[in-house]
A and B are shown apart, each in its own frame.
Chain A
């Protein structure tokens, strides 16, 4: 699994850890059911977080049922049941974002990665069409984000804020659509915006070395001079986004999965951030 929106497993209670596993097993099963067996390989921590957030907002998880892992039938699993459409939306979001990521990689990557992306593109194009048919607004939000992202990255002087804005706006739009009232819509918008911004920037910080080698765009690397922003600056920018996301998170009254969500916000996300920024410090020291 990949993604930055992870738990800090060592600090979770055993029952919370089992509940988290049950959610991602449930999401994996839904992806296989709605799309294809092979789409299960795109299961990510980020979409698991999205599914859990939706289930908590709508209080739609009514229990857990026993079953067997679809990838390894010898392994017993618990699956969290969802009465709403949290799994369906998270699976659709996964298909749509993977498809547009493939499009982006075809434009920006080297020869071999481009070739691989071209080979798998038709498969994910078909899955994305199925997802877009169910949730057209979600597809539009991601498509608009890709276009804005392209424009931002190819602009004259792309700032950090300008580069992160499209992803932030996309996640704000997707999350705020789940609100039950106007106040919750504002809170979810703010939460989605800052989480989206954080994800984009932490991914950018993680890819600094790779982008310098491949001459790709990175908001923390000056296009003209090749100068890299200091790790203190990167840490401060990431902390600001996470803090603002946490302030918005506090204004939502979660009950279901609250322990897991608190663990993610307070421990898991900062740990992911520290893993990335400590790599930056190592690179600076090596230079």
Chain B
């Protein structure tokens, strides 16, 4: 896949709001309703798919970067191990509410995660001092 930032026409340092605004503008332009009776409907659909993939990839990279505390490195390889959790992460972003509270040791504690998945087969909990982390094991 091409650089997702180039596909959306934003710089890599753009804020989430700027990325979202760029995605919305492009979605309005290439929406299938604009090409209903057009012989170029399939070309527009391909373009829309590319834009959706680019937007999802940027969100995924940024969420990954926020979660690990590191700035997300550019990885456009759809076959990397992170793609195994891709669908799960997207579902989490859209449905789960997670709040983190900083405990007295300055660590982060997951307080009320909600995991409405039947597909998650096992959860392992790791405790380290006063930090409790919920980690989703491999599916």
- State which of A48-56, A131-139, A183-191 sits at the interface with chain B: A183-191
How many A-B contacts if CB must be within 8 Å? Answer: 23
A239 located at the interface, meaning its Cβ lies under 8 Å from any Cβ of chain B in the complex:
no
A247 located at the interface, meaning its Cβ lies under 8 Å from any Cβ of chain B in the complex:
yes
Contacts of B43 in A (CB 8 A): 183, 186-187, 251
- Chain A contacts with B in 246-270, Cβ cutoff 8 A: 247-248, 250-251
Q: Smallest distance from the beta carbon of B22 to chain A beta carbons, Å? A: 15
Q: Is the CB of B39 within 8 A of A250?
A: no
Q: Smallest distance from the beta carbon of A255 to chain B beta carbons, Å? A: 11
B10 located at the interface, meaning its Cβ lies under 8 Å from any Cβ of chain A in the complex:
no
Q: What secondary structure prevails in chain A residues at the interface with B?
A: helix
Instruction: Give the interface size bracket for B toward A.
Output: 10 to 19
Docked Cα-Cα span, A248 to B39, in Å, equals: 10
Q: Is the CB of B35 within 8 A of A186?
A: no
Q: Smallest distance from the beta carbon of B42 to chain A beta carbons, Å? A: 9
Q: Is the CB of B30 within 8 A of A190?
A: no
Contacts of B47 in A (CB 8 A): 251
Residue of B nearest to A183 (CB): B43
Contacts of A223 in B (CB 8 A): none
Docked Cα-Cα span, A186 to B35, in Å, equals: 14
- Chain A contacts with B in 182-209, Cβ cutoff 8 A: 183, 186-187, 190
A244 located at the interface, meaning its Cβ lies under 8 Å from any Cβ of chain B in the complex:
yes
Contacts of A251 in B (CB 8 A): 40, 43-44, 47
Chain B positions within 8 Å of A, measured between CB atoms, are 29-30, 34-35, 38-40, 43-44, 47
Chain A positions within 8 Å of B, measured between CB atoms, are 183, 186-187, 190, 244, 247-248, 250-251
